[in-house]
A and B are shown apart, each in its own frame.
Chain A
């Protein structure tokens, strides 16, 4: 304080603190004033951020995260590599341009993947996914899934003939499970049995299955499939692997493992080793299955190399396929191509959305400009009265207004009745004004008109009437004064209103859905269709992302012209 005492005003004190001459200026508590001020500023910033933080977190979780999720879904494609992990790997070496089918190995891996997927009921989902890219794949997956069990049964019979122990759950559990897990699971089994005896409820979760390291090493295919089986039993059936025989495909995998590695038994000890070495000695006598022939027999569609090329093209975990589909292109083995003519609908839909939004915007300007001009030039009392006529529709429920238009425009509706009554239209030739583009444009113009009038009005209100008067006194006609003096000053209002109406209309869903029929719908209706009816969520997300990008660009333009802070709510 001693240094600050000769300063005459707080401003001088701050200046001195900044200039740092003659030692630091101290605050009341003895700290340097500069530091103290900075601390206060920091505290203020933290306080402001602390007030904002809850809302920010809320909006990020409830709103931004969903949008990000949608963007992610538009490129996400993990279903192929998740469902067909082995096939995807062995297909990597196959050359799609060769025009030949992939080799025996790919078919073997495909059999393993399909058998597991069919047990887990995942193969139909994958079929649906790939059907978006190649029509007909869905039914191939469905049919093959039903018929592939037979292959595994051949090996299962061989193994069980060799030693009935292979048909027992306990054999598999001891062979595959780790010692730790076996101990935990046995304890769990004992507790469950005790609880059952005492008629108590028992809801302790099952211990997670753990593979025996020896099995993982010596029998890689079998152990991977058994691991899937254990997970499926625990999560989907809430049962332990003690309670069910492994899937048929496990026997086929065991056969393959033993053929590839006849010394597998060496990694095991005791009963397991004996069992395995017996099996390893016997497998060369087993009758091998021709996977390729069996799969082609189950469904002849697999003999088309195109199918395999599609699986290969869509095996990466991320894909541009949905975006390509959204602009009427498709990804094929030969690169990116246009969709066949009859499937090209999105370019048309985007064009129609833009065209109709422009029409709506244009009609809003035409109808809104005179109204805004009138409102801004009337005395306050009268303009407030008339403003109510603009604000009432603005405040009325969207569905009320849409239903009003439905009532007015339909064939047995009020307008048609009136025209027939007046004799302008004969009863048999009532006008179709709804379920087409006309209906959508009329209803949406009505709904969005207040969004044009309000920004126009707020701009026109600021134009001084003296300019027009000056123009007239200099000899301009009414028209010249309006067109050369007034109109240019109202252009910012037109720009703001147009962008606002345009942004709102290209994302509209409810009104086009109700009055648009088939020719008056927007891209948003297609998005909704893909979410709730066709379940092609990836395509819906890609269409949504494109629409979002368009809106954000327009919004950025709006911000440049008007500024976010000037968003007015009437």
Chain B
């Protein structure tokens, strides 16, 4: 590093650095394939040799990255076909893509892209290992959710991948679990209950919650902290305790096992979310607007609907979404407060999981994942709109 005008890093050493590492990666894939075919050692050796050869060829004769990586994908796909037919080709193509990427990533010095130029080799190694660890954690977060999506198309009644599925045979896949969900009266009843209970509970918590949040945001509220603590408490108290208390109390007053009881219980659970999101929106609310509107002759109701409401609407909607998802996703309280007539979707899933009845649960789970993606997008868009309206930060 003594050379002053050396802004870019030197090309890594080919034989001492790139080849052994790519060979190592190849050896890893070889080992995996080999042990699946009961010849681990052979796989290891072949993998290392193929990896090193690939790296040498790509670096020496393929200066164009895109071309080189496609060549690697193609090569490994062909090898895959020879080893394991069509599914082998898919796996091979994936391995080829990774190998091609590693080769160029190492040989072009990309691995130093995100670190300061003065970093020593161990520091660069540590930085990349750190990124790798983060990747593993993200994998841990997402993989379980992704895994159930293909499994929900299983043609068999198993909770795992069948050989037909792994060989990408269309016969291994079917929509039968989705069909079961849409035709089975138990699931349909549960779905109906869920879509009746959740909106009713959301309506109660949003209407009462918004009013209370407006009241709480005024400057002169006596006992504000105590009131806030009471209103937030359903979020803090563990669900099992809420459920136990509601079960005892609601059976005293005859609400246990009724539709109304479940709706009231869910509304209580959703209220903290509405309060929190709406008060957060009201923090940026300019009170001179309501005064101006009153000054121009609007009554309090008109002012609320024409001035206040449009401005706090994003907060109200996202609070409502939180309340909705709380009720829609809730199972502990409904297990105790409800009876068989109020069986909701999560309850049905819960019993299904406990008794291992059918992979229809996975089909339902997939549908719910799709719904939650939609909800996530909506909330994110609303949050941005709200910030834009309040002029806080763009995007």
Contacts and interface: CB of A to CB of B under 8 A. Distances in A.
A547 B325 contact: no
B175 interface: no
Interface in B217-241: 218-222, 227-241
A449 B40 CA distance: 36
A542 to B, nearest CB: 11
Range of interface residues on B (Cβ < 8 Å): 35 or more
B312 to A, nearest CB: 14
B361 interface: yes
A537 interface: yes
A45 B222 CA distance: 7
Contacts of A50: 215
Contacts of A503: 236, 238
Interface in B312-330: 322, 325, 328-329
A69 B247 CA distance: 10
Secondary structure at chain B's binding surface: helix, strand, loop or mixed?
helix
A51 B230 CA distance: 15
B147 A403 contact: no
B336 A564 contact: no
B350 A399 contact: yes
B221 A398 contact: no
Contacts of A567: 232, 235, 276
B195 interface: no
Given A52-B227, A70-B248, A397 B133 contact: no
B276 A70 contact: no
A224 to B, nearest CB: 27
Nearest to B208: A55
A404 interface: yes
Interface string B31-57: 010011010100000000000000000
A124 B328 CA distance: 40
A547 B238 contact: yes
B277 to A, nearest CB: 7
A68 B220 CA distance: 29
A507 B350 contact: no
A541 interface: yes
B298 interface: no
A270 interface: no
Contacts of B232: 564, 567
A513 B228 CA distance: 32
Contact of B212 (A51, A65, A389): A51
B97 interface: no
Given A371-B138, A528-B240, A62 B372 contact: no
B212 A386 contact: no
Contact of A62 (B151, B264, B362, B373): B264
Range of interface residues on A (Cβ < 8 Å): 35 or more
A435 B141 CA distance: 21
Interface string B355-389: 00000011001001100110110001000000000
A307 B241 CA distance: 33
Contacts of A551: 236-238, 241
Interface stretch (A97-105, A339-347, A417-425): A417-425
Contacts of A73: 248
Contacts of A446: 140-141, 144
B247 A531 contact: yes
Interface stretch (A158-166, A286-294, A407-415, A483-491): A407-415
B283 to A, nearest CB: 10
Nearest to A69: B249
Interface of B: 32, 35-36, 38, 40, 123, 126, 130-131, 133-134, 137-138, 140-142, 144-145, 147-148, 151, 158-161, 204, 208-209, 211-212, 214-216, 218-222, 227-250, 252, 264-265, 267-268, 271, 273, 276-277, 322, 325, 328-329, 331-332, 336, 346, 349-350, 353-354, 361-362, 365, 368-369, 372-373, 375-376, 380
7 contacts: A58-B268, A62-B265, A404-B144, A407-B151, A423-B38, A503-B236, A507-B238
- 9 nearest interchain CB pairs? A507-B238, A51-B215, A66-B245, A66-B249, A55-B212, A404-B144, A70-B245, A524-B240, A52-B215
Given A51-B212, A67-B237, A393-B145, 11 more contacts: A44-B219, A56-B227, A370-B133, A397-B368, A399-B350, A405-B144, A406-B159, A407-B148, A417-B161, A541-B244, A551-B238
